[in-house]
């Protein structure tokens, strides 16, 4: 068993140690004795970007199948055992990974480790046609509830399809299509598991009130005997030109509550200084009620009821700047779009003020520290940086990287990327009286 440790070299005082089992499983441990709880988080390096044409949605479908029993845990037993021990659990799927997590009373960590190891090592013993058909129906119903039958529900799917060209690994979202879900066979599911649910394709993080030596012994005991497997092909290259080279536009007439303008801008990849600068730019422009777009459109012009601008961070392809504006009654979207372009052009020319820069950095710093302050949030970030960037320690220094970004770097990324020729646009025109909903769409699917 390999072992590396990093000393307490972070301003936060948080530490983590990394270990690797002989079968390739990476293990990250972080002690935190503030409260008697611990988080177990397991990331598999597989998401919708690894899927092939005609089998979209398989990564998300398989996440559901992972809760359908394994050799030693039948049916709904995973949920029953964790919740019976006073814990909570879930799983999600994104473009770039699938994760599973439990938050447990500290004395129940061994149970969570055993459960995760049992399904990693023996899920195929329980996977049958009945389970596949059952969860296929669950996922199809989830698609209806979150995408097809709610106002603006397909906006995320439509925008990603515009922003990433046909054939690109991020062209489709994790939810997949109804036709592809219907086409998935039991052999497809079994092959998917053998390829991606191997120890060498996973990172396990355990964070909280733990004894590292004992925890590592449990990990070795339960995961160490799972055979290694190395049949995974490299994901398709997701690189694209920095700028789309022209505005892509789609007008949608649906029964929605109000006119809406949504857009996706192609922005720098996650894990880069330019990516952090883009996050700060969007925070100044659309991150809350003190942002420029909210002040202009909602407060001053009163042409919109909401105006937000946020970043979907992606590491294997350009990130997306997601603009979402709902118009006030009777307002034409052309007036809103003109105002947005004016604000973006002014920001690109002038950059953020000192006050805006300080406020945006404080906002992102608070969000990062909030994540790292909880055992489940820290476990998730340690896994994320290990899987996507190869080094879990980067999670503990992310705050410093955001705070080191300069106003000039923020201005530079805005001028280069926040342009009309670098966006995909959706224009929603109501056809009738819709029912107002609060739709919060992101790239993650599958919370059970």
Q: DSSP class of residue 163?
A: H
> CA-CA distance, 430 to 409, in Å (whole number)?
39
Catalytic, 63? Answer: yes
d(CA 283, CA 414): 12
Determine contact, residues 27/18, Cβ cutoff 8 Å: yes
Catalytic, out of 18, 63, 269, 445: 63
Count of C-beta atoms within a 10 Å radius of residue 355: 10
- What's the rounded Cα separation, in Å, for the pair 237 and 245? 20
CB 410 within 8 A of CB 352: yes
d(CA 180, CA 16): 41
Pair type for strands 88-93 and 37-44: unpaired
- Bridge-based pairing of strands 37-44 and 248-254 is unpaired
Q: Which residues does 145 contact at the CB level (< 8 Å), separation at least 6?
A: none
Residues 6+ apart with CB under 8 A from 191: none
For residue 113, which of 24, 27, 230 has the smallest C-alpha distance?
27
CA distance 204 to 230: 18
Angstrom distance (rounded) from CA 205 to CA 415: 39
Which amino acids are annotated catalytic?
63
């Amino acid at each position: 068993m390999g072992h590396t440790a990093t000393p307490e070299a972070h301003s936060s005082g948080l530490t983590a140690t990394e270990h690797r089992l002989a079968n390739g499983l990476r293990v990250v441990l972080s002690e935190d004795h503030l409260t008697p709880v611990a988080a177990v988080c397991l990331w598999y390096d597989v998401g919708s970007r690894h899927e092939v044409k005609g089998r979209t949605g398989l990564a998300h479908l398989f996440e559901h199948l992972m809760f359908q029993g394994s050799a030693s845990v039948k049916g709904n037993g995973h949920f029953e055992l964790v919740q019976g021990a006073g814990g909570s659990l879930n799983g999600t799927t994104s473009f770039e990974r699938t994760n599973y997590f439990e938050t447990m009373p500290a004395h129940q960590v061994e149970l969570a480790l055993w459960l995760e190891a049992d399904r990693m090592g023996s899920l195929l013993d329980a996977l049958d046609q009945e389970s596949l058909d059952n969860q296929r129906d669950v996922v199809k119903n989830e698609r209806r509830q979150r995408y097809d039958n709610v106002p603006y529900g397909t906006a995320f799917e439509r925008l990603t399809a515009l922003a990433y060209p046909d054939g690109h690994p991020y062209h489709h979202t994790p939810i997949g299509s109804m036709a592809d879900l219907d086409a998935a066979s039991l052999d497809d599911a079994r092959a998917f598991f053998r390829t991606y649910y191997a120890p060498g394709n996973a990172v396990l993080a355990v964070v909280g009130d733990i004894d590292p030596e004992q925890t590592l012994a449990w990990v070795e005991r339960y995961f160490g005997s799972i055979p290694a497997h190395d049949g995974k092909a490299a994901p398709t290259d997701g690189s694209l030109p920095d700028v789309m080279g022209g505005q892509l536009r789609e007008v949608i007439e649906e029964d929605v509550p109000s006119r809406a303008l949504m857009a996706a801008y192609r922005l720098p990849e996650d894990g880069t200084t330019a990516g952090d600068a883009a996050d700060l730019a969007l925070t100044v422009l659309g991150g809350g009620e003190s942002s420029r777009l909210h002040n202009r459109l909602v407060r001053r012009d009163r042409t919109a009821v909401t105006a937000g601008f946020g970043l979907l961070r992606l590491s294997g392809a350009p990130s997306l700047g997601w603009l979402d504006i709902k118009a006030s009654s009777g307002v034409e979207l052309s007036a809103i779009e003109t105002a947005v372009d004016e604000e973006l052009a002014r920001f690109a020319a002038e950059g953020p003020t000192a006050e805006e820069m300080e406020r945006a950095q404080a906002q992102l710093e608070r969000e990062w520290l909030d994540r790292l302050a909880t055992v489940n949030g820290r476990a998730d970030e340690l896994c994320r940086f290990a899987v996507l960037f190869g080094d879990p320690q980067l999670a503990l220094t992310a705050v410093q990287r955001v705070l080191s970004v300069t106003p000039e770097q923020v201005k530079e990324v805005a001028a280069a990327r926040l342009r009309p020729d670098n966006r995909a646009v959706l224009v929603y025109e109501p056809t009738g009286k819709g029912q107002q909903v609060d739709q919060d769409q992101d790239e993650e699917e599958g919370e059970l």
